[in-house]
Every structure is written in C-alpha cells, then in structure tokens.
Structure 1
Amino acid sequence: MPRSALLPALFVLCCIAAPAGAQFGEEPLAKDPLATSKGLPKKFAKLASVEFVVEPAKAKRGETVTARLKVTLKEGGGGYTYPFFPADTKQLGKNDLAAPLPVGDLVFIGTVADPPNPDTKQRDDAPSGVMDQIYKHLAVWEFKAVVSPNAKAGKSTVSLGKYTRLQVCDATNCYPARGDELPAATFEVLDGESDKIKPADLEEARKILNLPPPKPSAPDRGSVGALPPAPSGSANKAEVRKSAKPLDQYTDELRVIATNVLPPEEGSDFGGIKQTGLWAFIATAALWGLISLVTPCVFPMIPITVSIFLKQAHGSFGERLKLAGVYCLTIISVLGLSAFALLKFMAWLSAHPVTNVLLATLFLVLALSLFGMYELTLPNALQKRLQAKQSKGGVIGTVFGALAFTVISFTCVAPFLGGFAGISAGNEGSGSLIAVPTAKEIAGGLAFATAFAAPFFVLALVPGLMKALPKSGGWLDSVKAVMGFLELAAALKFLRTAELRVFPTTQYFTYDLVLGAWVAISAACGLYLLNVFRLPHDEEKPNIGVPRLLFALLFLGLALYLTPALFKGHDGKNQRPAGVVYAWVEAFLLPDPEEWPTDLNVAIEASKKSGKPVFVDFTGKTCTNCRYNEREVFSRPEFHSLFDQFELVQLYTDEVPSKAYATDPGHSARIEEADVNGRFLTAVFKDNTLPTYAVMITQPDGKVKVFKYPEGKINHPDQFATFLKDSLEKAKK
C-alpha cells in the first residue's frame, strides 16, 4: 500500500473497526440471561438415542469408576454413527473426542477405545471395495475416570464438554451434536475414606490436577490432597485453585444464585458517595477536545482556515457565520461519530487481542510518522478531488474542506481521542437510567468534537482574536516528537494487553520489559528536549526555552523515578516507588492480579458454614482500575483485617486466569466461564462496569441480600472501609 493511502485506511480502522457487540452486550436481557442450549438436536434424536452413565453410581474420593457413552441407533431409521479412532487414518467420517476431557468431579484418565466389531459402508467418492467403519445398531464407549480428590460430597454431574463432537448420519446427511448437548451423567460423591483406591489410577489423576504428593497427616476437610492455600500476602487463607466444572453446571449454579437475589435495598448511599455524573463526563470530553487543538497537525490550520472564511465571505458577517457554521458542523459530525464509536466499543477494544494488535500497529505507524520517518497524506487522486471541490467555495466547498481537514488532522487527534475513550472505559459506571451507555457516549462524543471545532467558529466571528494566538514555529516540531514518544509507549501497552489475552502468562511483552521500555522512552524524550539529538523534521536550534527545559527535566525525572521498579526486592517482587504516579503506571501496565478464589457457589456454601458474608470482586485481566485498587487499597493493613471477616471471591468477566485452576481447562473454557460471570453481573446489578464490588449475605430462607459499593475506582478508601463495616453489621442482624 502506498504511504499516501495509509492515513484513510488507519482512520477507518480506529474509528469503525469494532465488533457488533460490546463485552457483555447492551441489548435487553433475555428472560434467562444465563441460558445455554441443551438437549440433542431434533434430527439427531430422530435417528439415535444417547445415554451417558457412571458406574458405580456412588463412589468415594479417589476411587476409580467407569463412564459409559451408549449410542443406540433406532430401528428402521437407517442411521449410523462413526468411531472416534477409525483403523484407516484416511477415513474422513469420524467422531471427535476432546482431549483432554473436561476436568470436574471426575478426572478422566487412560485411553479410550472404539467398540469392537464395527459395521462397514462403501466410502463415498472412493473406488469400489474401499470401506469406512461405522456402527449401525449400537456403539458403547467406556471412559476410565477417578473421582477427584477435591470433589465435594453430594450429587454431581459430568459431561463430555462442548468440544466433543458426535454425529449420526442417514443416506443423505450427517447431524452433529456437541458433548454439552448430550445427556450428562449423574453420580454421587460419598464422604469418608476408601479402601478401593487404585494407587496407580489416583496418581495419574493427581498429575492431571497438578496436585502435590499427599501428606501423611490428615488432609484438610476430609479431602484427598487439598489444594494449596492462598499466598500469605492475600487477604485470607482460602483455597484459590479449583477444578474446572462443566459449563452447564457452572451456569446452573450462578442461575440459582441470581434467582435468589433480593432487590437491592433503597437508601444505602454509604457516606453519600456518588459516581461521576453526566456533566462531569461531558466536561472531561470537552477538555480532551481542546487539548487536541494544540498539536502540529491542527494548530497551524486554525488561522489559515479562518482566513479562508474571511476571504470567501467578502466582508459579509452573515456569510461568514454560515460558512463557519457549516465547517464546524461537518467536523462535529465526522469526529463526533468517531468519538462515539470508540466510547461505545472501548471496553471490548481494550480487551480483545486482535484489536489490541491492530491498535498497536496504528500507534506505531503514527509514531514513526511524527518522528519524521515518512509523511502520512491523502492519496493524490482523492486530494486533488477534495481540493477541486473545496476551491468552488460556498457550502459544498466548505463541507469538503472540513472533511479533508478532519482526516489529515487525525494523525495528531487519534491519541487524545483514544486516550479519552480508554480512560472513560475504565471509569466507574452507574446502574441508574441516567447512565444509559448510549446516551452518555453520544454526549461525550459530541462534547469532544464540539470543543475541537469551537475555535474555528469563534475566530470566524471575531477575527481580531487571532492576534492573540502564538505563532507557529519550531515548538510545534517539538510537540510532534513528544507525541511520537507517547504513541510509541501506548503501542507497547497495547501489545502487552494482547499477549495477556492470548497466553496464560506473558513471554515477550512482560511487565518488566514494557516498564523498562517506558523508562527508556521517557529518558529519550527528555534528552531530545535538551537537544542532545535531533529528528529529521527539526530545525537547527541550539538554544532551548524555559518551558522546554522544564518538560525535559520532567521526562528525565520520570525515568529515574520508575527505574527502581525494574529491580527486585528481598521478597522477589518488583520494588514499588512511593506515590500515585507509580501506582497509575503500574496499574496501566497490568501487573499480575492477586489470587483469590474464583467460584461464587463455593464461597456461598462456605459462608453458610462460617457465618461470614461474601465479598465479590467483579474484575478483569485487562482492567486498569482493578489493578490500581488491588495494589493501592486492598494492600493496606486495615483492609487485611476487614477482609478476614469475609469469604472472598473474584469473578473475572473477560477471561479467568489459568492459575485459578489446578489444571488449565484451556483458553476457550476460561473465556466461556468469564462470559457467564459477565452475564451474571449484568443480570443481578443491571451493570457491566469493572470493577464492581458487592457483598452478598445469605438469609436462612436461602434468599441473598446484595449491597453494591457505588465506586469502581476506589477514590475514598475510608468510605470503602465504612462500606465493609456496614456490611458486616447488616450480616449480624
């Protein structure tokens, strides 16, 4: 692609490249927001019946059982099914078995064999005599499994998981069914010690669960090989690692909890804390729009554009007013739509790995352009066409002039627009009707664009004010270079976010690497402002002014301030420079989250036994405000003692970290569980803000009282402490 075509392509990418849905969706909730598809597809059920059983139906922890999948083809239906592992590897028709199978209260071990004595059929599109293996009447598969050492006593269910595929066929078509659409097997976990344990089978199951060797002492709570406790630095000593549950079972558990939640109590303002209002949001958007004006792509164009208005108006105030109005309304429409799109989808954009890579590429391209490596311009053909339209003057020419200016200026405006959208995505939201996201985002987008366009209108009406504007010059080149450094830093952050969503742990864009790069970028920016080196577009200018010197010292000081965080302390963790600046840098670069339990149903059951209320932290792997609260608020000694009085649980709504499980169930399974958590958050609190903090208190009748803290980012730690104390008092009543 020629360089002249880069800018419109990047403009379209940043403004409109977003999926159809947000992270949890803004559409009205279905009657059952946690509903999932269940049951065999109708055409499948016409040809075959399926049974999945566990034998024996009752077993103790650590015992070996057999799970049988029985597919019976109905007489007269002409149906058949395939093996999972046909003898001929070239056979295309076969069933697919997920490997490894889901780990829940049953841990599948060993290998699976197809039933003996299969039938055969002529292979489609193959020479005569080339046969496929099939089953026309009955097929039974046996799976060897061990009852998990961490299984809780009581009824349990197990499925083959959604990534298993079973199909039945007739003479014309094949009809597939996922493992989670097949009947689930039910069995009962018995409490107590067992004398039927097969050591070799149990050892294999323990390896799958990544459990440590059993200790000679009595295991915790009667389980075989209890999971390791939470680290000593966490708020309590609860178990934090779990075995993955089948998705339908996990969904059913949260559905039951959501059904029992009582409406939130009225009048609980917890010290009168209120979230950021609509007007404050609009004012912030307008401020970012005004800041965007003082950029090298925009500022020089202000007097030039106003001069064109004055020339075309021929001294007529009315004509000048009309042209300025049309020009500004065009900018507001185009830029406002871009701002609205970013605000609308920023929560999704900030988490999706593909979009983060695209945004990192965009910011890298823009940074290199601002450094002077190349010039981003409109394609020649489009540029000539716009100039021809603009030269005609009048309303049409003014509209095309505004369109050209908006696209050209986007190189400098994009970082500020993206920065505002990113910050607003992390701000606390509200469940009230005034904070309907669409209305708020429209208002924010229009405020940003209106503030950006306003000076053109004002100066067209009062041309004398242009004399008060500072003259364009070398200082704008410095602004351009500084923006390039900032965009380069942003690109690294986007790449780290993308890797966090793709891999369980980062390997390339680690926290230390990106922080080190930020230190280097800050130091390089400071040295540039001191004229230690120059860039291609800079003029030779040996002397620097006082403002430039102060900014140079600011960037160099920031580099020195952040440097200690690159080194480890005696505890093996990064040192943490004091102050709010490092707190924000650390949170923005998304350090590893604290480890808390991640199963709400387990926390509620523990609450019934201990009498403690449940503190729920709705969080995300890529949530900046979540990391800020964890590092700056939750780490304070006074909150350690408060959290000790709660059953703690974290519910991730973008992706559950792999370290939350004893054995990683896979990327897709972790995202699906997080999606259920997100739908639970929306169903119970009519909100999808991250972070959201709530306390749940289970009543004797099984109903659950909920109290939601009104802030996302905790700006008032003392009021948050009051919220926790008040919740403890309510739990005692």
Structure 2
Amino acid sequence: MTAKKVLLFSLLSLFFSFNIFSQELEPVKWDYKVEKVSDTEFILIFKANVDKGWYIYSQEAPSEESFAPTTYFEFQNAEGNYQLEGKTSEPDVPTIYDKIFQEEVKKFKDEAVFKQRVTLINKGLKQIDVKVDYQTCDDSKCIPSDFLFNFSLDGSEIVKEEVVIDEKSKQLSEGLNLNVTGWDNYEEEVIDEKSNLSIFFLGFIGGLIALLTPCVFPMIPLTVSFFTKSAGDPKKGLFNSLLYGFFIFLIYALLSIPFHLLDTLDPGILNNISTNVTLNLIFFAIFIGFAFSFFGYYELTLPQSWSAAMDSRANKIGGFIGIFFMALTLAIVSFSCTGPILGTLLGSSLTADGGATQLTMGMSGFGLALALPFTLFAMFPKWLNSLPKSGGWLNTVKVVLGFIELALALKFLSNADLVQHFGILKREIFIGIWIVIGIGLASYLFGKIKFPHDGPLQKLSKGRLSTALLVVAFVVYLIPGLTNTKWANLKLLSGFPPPMFYSVYEKTSECPLDLNCDKDLESGLALAKAENKPILLDFTGWACVNCRKMEEQVWSTSEVYDILMEDYVIISLYVDDKKKLPEDEQFQYLRSNGTVKDIETVGDKWQTLQTINFKNNSQPYYALLDHNFELLNSTKAYEPDADAYYEWLKTGLENFKK
C-alpha cells in the first residue's frame, strides 16, 4: 500500500471514528503449524478456512492505484532472531472480477494456505509470533480482521498474553447468548439491498434539478456552441462534446470513492452516521446553511483560484486532458448550486442502509443527468432554440430548493433528538414546523414574500401557480398529523417524522401504534410467558427509516395489526439507543478474536446481542421465537408487502401452537 493510500485511509478513519458498530462475524478460521526442515530452518504454515460465499484476498495488490484489500503478514521481533527466506507463498489462482472494488483481483475461497520459510539467527529462539491483517469480503461487504499466530519451534508451551475480563463481565457476556435454536428448520432469508436502480434514479432527478439552477443552465448553450464551432470539423466537435459529458459523469462518480474506503474499513461505519448525535447536528447546521445560500443571503463557492487553475490547464493542455479539466472547471464553478443538492444526496445516502454502493449509484445518476444535455444538444444543435431563456425563474427554482433544504435539515435534528431522548422535537412539533415551512413556500410562490435576488413579480406563471397549489395540498395533508386521531398516521411520510408514540399527547404505551410490546428482553420474555404468546423480537433503531415504514405502513394494516395485538408479544430492542446502562450493568465483552468491546449504552447491548445470536447487524430485523428461544419461522428483514408479512406471522403463530 502506497504512502498516499495509507494517509487517505488514516484521515478518513479519523474523521468518521465516532461510535463505530463492531463486527462479530468471523468468516475466516485459522489453523497453523510449523514444519522443521533442520535445526535452524523452519516452514511456517498458515491455513485460512473461509466460510461459503466469502473470500480472502491475495498479498499482492492488482496495481499501485488499486483500492482492493490485501493480506499482510507481520513477522514480529525478526531482527537479530531470524530471517525470511523469500516471500510468503500463497495459492496460485487466476484473477476474477470483484463486484465491490470493480476490478480484477486475486482472492481465495474455501481455503488458502500460506507458507513462509525462515532461518534462525538466534539458535536459542523458541517462539515466533506472526500477525496477519486481512479483510474478508462477500459480494456486498467486507470485514477487516487480524489474527496473531504463536509458533513454537521446539514443541514447548506457547507464551501468550491473555486478555482477561472480570467475573461480572463474563457473566453479563454469557447473558447475551440466547442459544437460539431451530435454524435447521427454516431457510435463511437473503436480505435484499434497497434497489440500486432506484437510488440511481433519485440521483438522476437531483441532477435534473441542478440543471435548472442559475449556475448550470446558462452554461449549456455556451458550452455546446464552443465545442461545435471551435472544432472546425462537426464530427470532432460532436466527439469532444460526448467526451466532455462523459468526464462530467466520471467526476461525480469518483467523488464517492472515499466512502467505499470507509465502508471497507468497517461495513457498519456509514450506517452508524445515522445514529451519531454530533454528526446529525453537523448535518442539520450544514443543511440550514445550504438553505440560506439558496435564499440568496450569501453564496457558497469553492476558492476562485481552483476554477482559475482548472480553466488555465484546460486552455494550455488541450486534447482529452484539456476537456477533462473543462469538465472539472464546470463542477467547481457550479458548486454554489450543485453543492447543496449533492449535500442532500450525500446526507440521505449515508443515513440509509445501503452505504457506499448506493452513494456511488446516486452520484453516478447525478453526474449522468448533468452530462446528458451537453451531449444531446451537441448531437441535435437545433434543440438549443427550444430551450427557455434564462431569467427570474431560475432564482425561483433556487428559493424553492432552499425551503426543501430547511425541511430536510429537520430530519437530522430529529435523529439526534430521538437517539439521545432529548424530548424536544416530538412528532407533532416536527410536523408543525414542516407546515410552517410549507406555508412559507406557498406564500413565496404566490408572491407574498421575496428574497434578495427576486425581481418584481408581474404575474403568476402556470408553473409557479401549479407548484404553489401542490404545496398547499401537501400542507393540508400534513394537518391531521397534528392531531391524536386515526388520521395522524401520515403513511406517505413514514420514516421522516418521529414515530407516532414519540408524541406530545399522552399515549397508552410507548410502543408503535400502541401495540403490546416491551423494550427489554427479560421483562418482555416474562410477559410472553405470562400471556402464553410467541415473541416477535424486533431489532430496530430510533433513526431507522425502514423501521418506521414497517411500523406505519405494514404493522398498521388491519390483518397485521390484529395478529400483533392479539397473538404476539413484541420485544423492540433499539440498537442505536445512546442511553447509558446503569453502572452495575456496564461491562466488557470479550470477542472471540481476543479484542474487547465496552458495553456502556442500551444500544451497545442490543446491537451486540443481535450480532452474536443472528450474525446480522442491519435494521429492521425480525425473529419469531418461543419462550425457549427456538425459531418459529425464518428471520425477516424489511418487508413492505403487508400480505407477505402477515403470512410470515401467521405461520410462526401456527408453529408456536404446535
């Protein structure tokens, strides 16, 4: 790994090192032994047994610029004691295409044997310690790991430093293992990721919106005319325009690469952003800043020297590289308009479950939408005549986006409020602020309020009037959300406002939809035994959008609601709950790899319990159990089909009665 890559990994790891979710999955089990060749020569053998569907990577990177992980053996205390003879050998396998890193790499499945020949310098040496750093990946995620080998050269007992935790920690750790049984009775559910195509489409929509801003829209005819007229040859001008569009697309797609590095370092790190109070408050402040920039009170721009330097290079270099710098110049000079939209895309992607892959899809869609006009109008120059002329309508688009940014900013403040239990932004207050924002936007569109860059409004255009009426309709839709009635469940917005039980009104329970639930495992189990009902173990999160969608769109349907209310005890465990455990319940959990995790919050406890028992750390995640923690059906993740979810619950209930 080059120094540049090490620095990049270090900086990114430092910036996002807030409350990282730990991984308990261990897809690789190591065996090792030593073969004696002579009194001074030995062969150290490392054997990796890799679980099905997982891979371990080669020691050699495909190229200097590759971001694919490598396996690295660190031979400790070698100086003056022993020397390595040649390189550490590994299986000779052909390269294959890696879906995560999108390049040809050499990786091993099932098992991989590595060997290293050593010659002793210190003939009295009895032990060699070797540490391996590696990553194990399947087709969607990677888990960074390490392992320490202790080779005894003379058969004597290995001297190994043991990590020790106290008796209290041992007992509480054992309590996390539920010994769930019944896995062989049901097929394991394959958890589908949110459609990457839908994320790409949303990014594409964002790019189309960015085209309608004053920073980008006027550039279309100017740039197309430059390429078609300056090239001399129409075919060359068309080719240059196509290349320019491709580079725009490429630049925005490349912006997501650092987040793949983060996701590789720890697959849970991006998901954790949605629950970190500090980061959510930072996002809230940034979005407020974006909003007032769109309102015209100030302009967010990158340093002018950047765009000047890029423009100068484009003029001097020419050719392919010159066109690339032209595309980069566009990205820089249009930042004041595209930056807030990209920020929205970034914030939304990082607080979803999909992580870096979905972010890449969103950024690619954004870049494609920006690039298309430059290529299409170059292919069909007569279309330029049909483009509307720049004018006040562009500023109207910016102001509308400002109001949208204000509404989105509130979501991040809500996340921080929920996971920390501040009790400030209850559901009705959240919706009330959205109503105020909606009234403000409608008033602007009707010409009742103005912002710094607005000119005199002569008359309402059809587009402005129709948008205003849509906003008014949306405000009317929000109003029942302020009430304590059956119409307060705004299903179209599930996941955005706080959950319905997080309310200013006094609720009969703190459970979704006032269902029969408990937020503690022990008391929930006692309740299930007392009522002789099966358990729906619900791993959820305060800031989990899909959890709210399940509760407000699926659990609220009549059949599902009835079976949950009458036949199940729901135990909802919030894995992102930052509430501190009592001192006597805090402990250290010793992982099987010898490292220690501090269990200090309610979320720490439930997240670790989920990973230990179900080898999964995504939410929502559901398991149907009897009172002995035997599965009553396959586990289930996000399931928007209410009928399918009802059948799953019904089957579990029937199995419980048997």
- State the TM-score, normalizing by the size of structure 2: 0.63
1:244 maps to none
**Do the aligned partners of residues 546 and 341 (structure 1) sit closer, same or farther apart at CA in structure 2, a change above 3 Å counting?**
farther
Name the structure 1 match of 2:321: 396
Q: 1:504 aligns with which of 421, 429, 432?
A: 421
Query: Which secondary structure state, in structure 2, belongs to the residue aligned with residue 255 of structure 1?
Result: coil
Whether the 8 Å CA contact 1:522–1:555 is kept in 2: the answer is: yes
Q: How does 1:513-524 map to 2 (within 5 A)?
A: 513-524=429-440
* Residue in 1 that maps onto 2:370: 452
1:566-596 Cα offsets, whole Å, 9 max, x none, are 45x4xxxx88446534556535899466273
| Secondary structure of 2:448's aligned partner | coil
Whichever residue aligns with residue 716 of structure 1, its letter is D
1:19 maps to: 16
1:333 equivalent in alignment to 2:330: no
User: Kindly tell me: are residues 683 and 562 of structure 1, through their superposed partners in 2, closer, same or farther at Cα, counting changes over 3 Å?
Assistant: same
Q: Which amino acid aligns with 2:323?
A: T
CA positional deviation for 1:531: 1.0
Deviations 1:235-257 (A, max 9, x none): xxxxxxxxxxxx65444223343
Q: Which residue of 2 aligns with 1:653?
A: 575
Matches of 1:732 and 1:450, distance apart in 2: 55
CA distance in 2, matches of 1:492, 1:439: 25
Q: Are 2:637 and 1:716 aligned? A: no
Whole-Å separation in 1 of the counterparts to 2:205 and 2:527 = 48
- Aligned 1:425-440 pairs, distance under 5 A: none
Aligned length, in residue pairs: 486
Cα 1:642–1:303 change in 2 (3 A) is: same
| Aligned-pair CA distance for 1:293 | 2.8
Q: Out of 303-312 and 634-643, give the one that drifted further.
A: 634-643
Structure 1 residue 506: Cα displacement:
2.6
Aligned positions of 1:670-709 closer than 5 A: 672-682=601-611, 684-685=613-614, 687-697=616-626, 704=631, 707-709=634-636
For the 8 Å contact 2:196–2:358, the answer to whether it is kept is yes
Question: By how many angstroms is 1:299 displaced?
Answer: 2.4
Q: Which AA in structure 1 matches 2:239?
A: L
Q: Residues 335-484 of structure 1 correspond to what in structure 2 (within 5 A)?
A: 335-339=252-256, 346-392=270-316, 393-420=318-345, 442-484=360-402
Q: Any idea what the Cα deviations from partners look like across 1:15-63, whole Å, max 9, x if unmatched?
A: 999615895367964779xxxxxxxxxxxxxxxxxxxxxxxxxxxxxxx
- Secondary structure of 2:567's aligned partner: coil
Alignment of 1:24-43 (within 5 A): 24=21, 29=26
Deviation at 1:518, TM superposition (A): 1.7
Taking the aligned partners of 1:585 and 1:499, their CA distance within structure 2 comes to: 13
Partner of 2:549: 628
Q: Structure 1: where are the runs of 5+ without partners?
A: 1-14, 33-179, 186-246, 430-436
Letter of the aligned partner of 2:383 in structure 1? L
Match of 1:183 among 159, 166, 172: 166
Between stretches 388-397 and 599-608, larger displacement belongs to 599-608
Q: Give the Cα–Cα distance (whole angstroms) in 1 for the partners of residues 204 and 393 of structure 2.
A: 24
Gap change, CA 1:248 and 1:605, over 3 Å in 2: farther
- For residue 732 of structure 1, report the CA deviation from its aligned partner: 3.3
Alignment match, 2:497: 586
Mark the structure with the bigger radius of gyration: 1
Q: CA deviation at 1:489?
A: 2.0
- Residues of 2 paired with 1:590 and 1:609: CA distance? 25
Distance 2:487 2:522 in 1: 35
Compare relative contact order (CA 8 Å, sep 6+) and give the higher one, 1 or 2: 1
Q: Which residue of 2 aligns with 1:241?
A: none
Matches within 5 A, 1:163-182: none
Counterpart amino acid of 1:648? I
In structure 2, the residue corresponding to 1:526 is in which secondary structure? helix
Alpha-carbon distance in 1 for matches of 2:604, 2:328: 40
Judge conservation of contact 1:615–1:647 (CA < 8 Å) in 2.
Answer: yes
The 1:341/1:491 distance shift into structure 2, 3 A limit, reads: farther
Residue identity opposite 2:408 in structure 1: A
SS in 1 for 2:497: helix
| AA at the equivalent of 2:288 | L
Do the aligned partners of 1:323 and 1:394 also contact (CA within 8 Å) in 2? no
Question: Does residue 230 of structure 2 align to residue 309 of structure 1?
Answer: no
Q: Measure, in 2, the Cα distance between the counterparts of 1:525 and 1:282.
A: 28
Give the alignment's Cα RMSD to 1 decimal: 4.2
Distance 1:427 1:697 in 2: 32
Which residue of 525, 545, 557 corresponds with 2:461?
Answer: 545
Identify unmatched segments of 5+ residues in structure 2: 1-11, 30-162, 264-268, 504-509, 588-596
Maintained 8 Å contact 1:692/1:708: yes
Contact 1:531–1:542 (CA under 8 A) maintained in structure 2: no
Distance in 1 of aligned mates of 2:533 and 2:381: 69
1:525 deviation in Å?
Answer: 0.8
SS in 2 for 1:296: coil
One-letter code aligned to 1:505:
F
Give the aligned residue type for 1:388. S
C-alpha distance after superposition, 1:364-419 (max 9, x if no partner): 22211111112223324334323322333433332222223223334433454454
Identity %: 29
TM superposition score normalised by structure 1: 0.57
Query: Which residue is equivalent to 1:619?
Result: 540
Structure 1 range deviating more: 601-610 or 631-640: 601-610
Deviation at 1:724, TM superposition (A): 0.6
Whole-Å separation in 2 of the counterparts to 1:411 and 1:628: 34
Aligned-pair CA distance for 1:424: 5.5
Q: Distance in 2 between matches of 1:669 and 1:267?
A: 30
Q: How does 1:594-605 map to 2 (within 5 A)?
A: 594=511, 596-600=517-521, 603=524
1:640-688 Cα shifts (integer Å, max 9, x gaps): 5412322321121211657x9999989x988644234334444555543
Q: What is the identity, as a one-letter code, of the residue corresponding to 2:166?
A: P
